Structure 1
């Protein structure tokens, strides 16, 4: 565990970020330091070369007037020297440090021309590098050459000092950058660590009500926290819905099983008085309820996990509506009114028929004596209105009736055949077809409007049409 914690710290975002920032700063500073040293050396060398150039120019002015008689007693010094050469290359005048020496360089520029050379082979300076400027000039005795040299020792010394300072200063700067980056990264990641600790405490459905802290501001971490809280809200809602679904399903299954068990127990205790046709009919009825309930639950489970699978083809909605109307009439409903002009959509025939069957069964259970089926369409949407003259649905319950296993009153009791899943399934089928299922009032009764997008790229819910 300790080794794992150590590896996590070594490979942590905080340390990696600090190391990356330090490495980038190190590379930038190294490049900048090299450029600075090279530039400084170049500028100092150019400055000393200009000094030698100026000395050569001054002496050349004297030589042009005085010739070999020019006086160089005060010229030059420990860091510089001057020589004047005649046309044959012999030294005719020199500064005291090189008096009597041969020419420091064999340079013969024409009068008016200037030549610059760097050399470390001079009789002075103990191997130091010099910048030598040779200037051609015309004197009273003919063409002559003035040699002026400046030592570059100060350039080397200055460069060495700057290099030493950089070698001392750069590690200190990088250490400061590393510590600062580590501290700032820790401050920046502190909300993330708080989120992680909070999420780590969520280990069961009872803890799903917890939410992660949201830092102030609107940065990426704050948006992450808000997104995570939204996710926890959805997970909590899904877990609660699943828990309710399991509880409701267990309760729904227990009822028919209890009925079947009671029927057989009574038959076993009193076989001589058992009405076998009645018992058989009751058991088969309860088994039909179980079969419908299990089929509905499987459909919803598959839809929740993978979405509703549709086998799309051309469907004549008017044929579906008239078929359902005929079924209601055969079931003995007193009055069924149909308005179904030809309407064709691209959809799943089986699922659309199931949704319409659920709606008509619901209407038949609630109607007093009349059910009306109306089919309509426009360029983008087709809709089916299923109207009953029952007691209606209170406004406060119009969203709740689409929840699973919801029954509002005794007219939705189990003996009437409803499972509490018909309307949720119908709405899911409608939405899978790019439409919706909504409920409204109609002349004291209830109207359910099932809308279907004729163009699958569009979806226009029925409540936006204003005809519910």
Structure 2
């Protein structure tokens, strides 16, 4: 196991992002410039050397062509002139004697090489003698009127070296400047981007539970920072919605529990002050119904709380939906409030019988509470889906409210009485149980004139992740 011996401030992983980005840009640009400069100098050297050799070869070819008609002494003097590239010209006999030269200081052959007629020209050979050592020599065989000779033309590499040194100096001076500019530009650009991130961070840090409506600034550029800000605003919107829903849930739950508690408290206070008034009628007509109402409300709240925290636990087995529907129809007929019609085809699915019975009961109670005179229950199957349909002939539900009625404590009536509104949790529980079974519940228009609730459930049962 190795230990980082660098002090904490010197570890690159601890450096600010701007510093790391600027250094990374400087290193990358520096390496790229170094490789590029090396390649440029090599290619420039090859190109300039090639130009020098080409000039020497061209002069040697001109002299060899002229020697086919003249002797070395009769050649045009212009062929022996020198310039910035051509440094010297020699004609060498087969015995190694310099027959003619461009300068008396060039009396010895530039290279120890004699070519026979018909041999290929030789170029790019360094000189072995002469007043200059930095020469490139091109040799070409020729046949003059006096016999075979070898034409030697020397070209200087001094201009090549001067050009290479000049370019290398420019690169050495300009390279670090380019690296510094790249590092500075990266520093500035990263700092500008991080400025937007810092604005988002500071805004989020300033948002408390009382300012959840605040949003972070979204940069005008449609880049990753803008997408981060948009995502952050969407998250804040979800948190705000959840916070408002929680506050509304607590307020509604407190309101619902307050009513039965107030009734029970009032009845018990009457019994304390007037014991003779605490009779069977008070117990049966007031205390027990309010206690049952509070018990049912607390149970509903616990179901929804568990659904929010861990999901609804299911005990999966075979369930006959038609039996559940027939049982609820019999219960409703015993109440005598409405007429009940059933069309229950045999439908068996995999699910939690107790939970599904709660679904059917909540839907039937909801239909009975709003029906004018008639409720209808239907069960049917169309593989791989089973359906429970509950109709009523009540006022129906407007299209704009059909999603909202599944929310908690939502009642479409203006009043909050038990007779018309219930607790507002029944349909929310239906939604949670159906979702736990992998199904769906929708609202439509009933042929009876009111609302139609349609529950669709998979015949094979809920996904295994929902089961326990």
TM range (shorter): 0.7 to 0.9
Asked whether the 8 Å contact 1:72–1:95 carries over to 2, the reply is no
> Which residue of structure 1 lines up, in the alignment, with residue 259 of structure 2?
255
- Partner of residue 119, structure 1: 126
Q: Is 1:57 equivalent to 2:69 in the alignment? A: no
Deviating more after overlay: 359-368 vs 437-446: 437-446
| Alignment match, 1:155 | 160
Per-residue CA shift, 1:301-327, capped at 9, x if unaligned? 232344445555553321221121123
Aligned positions of 1:209-224 closer than 5 A:
209-216=213-220, 218-224=222-228
State whether structure 2 residue 116 is matched by structure 1 residue 107.
no
Match runs of 1:44-443 below 5 Å: 44-67=48-71, 69=73, 75=80, 77=82, 80-101=87-108, 103-112=109-118, 113-119=120-126, 121-125=128-132, 128-187=133-192, 190-204=195-209, 206-216=210-220, 218-271=222-275, 274-275=278-279, 278-279=282-283, 283-310=287-314, 314-333=318-337, 335-367=339-371, 369-378=373-382, 381-390=385-394, 392-393=396-397, 398-409=402-413, 413-414=417-418, 418-432=422-436, 433-438=438-443, 440=445, 443=448
Aligned length: 448
Q: In structure 2, do the counterparts of structure 1 residues 136 and 285 end up closer, same or farther at CA, with 3 Å as the change threshold? A: same
Does the Cα contact within 8 Å between 1:81 and 1:97 map onto a contact in 2?
no
Instruction: Please give the TM-score of this superposition, normalised by the length of structure 1.
Output: 0.80
Quickly say closer, same or farther: Cα 1:39–1:389, change in 2 above 3 A. Answer: closer
**CA shift in 2, pair 1:390/1:67, >3 Å:** closer
- Structure 1 residue 88 displacement after superposition: 2.5
429, 448, 454: which one aligns with 2:453: 448
Deviates more, 1:272-281 or 1:192-201: 272-281
Structure 2 distance, partners of 1:61, 1:98, is 26
Could you list the structure 1 runs, at least 4 aligned residues long, displaced by more than 6 angstroms after superposition.
71-74
Say which SS state the counterpart of residue 181 (structure 2) adopts: helix
1:62, 1:70 within 8 Å by CA — same for their partners in 2? Answer: no
Question: Structure 2-normalised TM-score?
Answer: 0.80
Distance in 2, Cα, partners of 1:147 & 1:390: 117
Shift in Å, 1:145: 1.8
DSSP 3-state at the match of 2:375: strand
Q: Quote the offset at 1:107 in angstroms.
A: 1.8
> SS state of the match for residue 63, structure 2?
helix
